[in-house]
Amino acid sequence: MNEEPRKGLFRRKPKDPNKKPGRLAQMRQVYELSAKHNKATPWLLAAAVLGCTIIGLGAGYVFGGMIFTTILGFMVGLLLGMFMLGRFAETAAFAQMDGQPGAFGAVLNTARRGYLMDEKPIAVDPKSRDLVFRSTGRAGVVLLSEGPKARSAKLLAKEKKRHERILPNVPVHTFQGGKEEGQLAMKRVVPAVQKLPRKLNRAEVLAVRNRLAALGTQGSRPPIPKGIDPNKARPNHKAMRGR
């Protein structure tokens, strides 16, 4: 007979595999990602902290209050280092995602200031695999395509026309993601979205989201059989009478 292990006062609890990593673990992951992509990351971070500390020390030597200014300089250096680490990690993440399907959707999802993004692409070209992603926020609806400029432009224009028909009073903004001229690079997607003028309040944003969710996306709408025009389809009256 197997006995259950007794719970001691100092016994460690088993780790929950679904538990998110803590703040320190997240910072370590961000640092490792940045250092892997940019070997100079530790030296640049150390220079930021040390440089600000020295400036604080010098200011205290000249104006007085050396202990206070040194501590203040050290804290400013830490904040500067955190900011630099975030930018380094963003650059490393973009480099990892470059060329992978759905990369621009992942970037668009980082526009958190009042924006809600659909988890899956709202339109997919079955032949070329070009994608269109959608995010809804205070500026209205944002559509972002992923694919070659000339080819994805048709899919993007089609989705814009559909959204303008569904939401006639809501601004619909379109962007093309890619490396060609006139397209947005990954690092420019979020700044471009956040520069859009705000036209909706929070209640209107939620109303737009609910309407779009009710209508579904290209992937969730049932396909129309080939050769059938839904606007001209007529019921079979003989079949309805059971003949």
pLDDT digits 0-9 by tens, 7-57: 555 455 555 555 556 667 777 877 777 777 778 888 988 999 999 999 999
Q: For residue 18, what pLDDT is reported? A: 56
- Cβ atoms of 218 and 122 closer than 8 Å: yes
**Angstrom distance (rounded) from CA 25 to CA 127:** 42
Domain segments of the chain as ranges: 23-97, 103-215
Q: Which of 41, 147, 141, 117 is nearest to 85 (CA)?
A: 41
Helix (H) or strand (E) holding 23: helix 23-37
Positions of E strands within the chain: 116-117, 123-124, 131-137, 140-146, 172-177
| 6: pLDDT strictly greater than 80 | no
Is pTM beyond 0.75? Reply is: no
Residue range 99-131, pLDDT digits in tens: 777 788 888 887 777 788 887 888 888 888 889
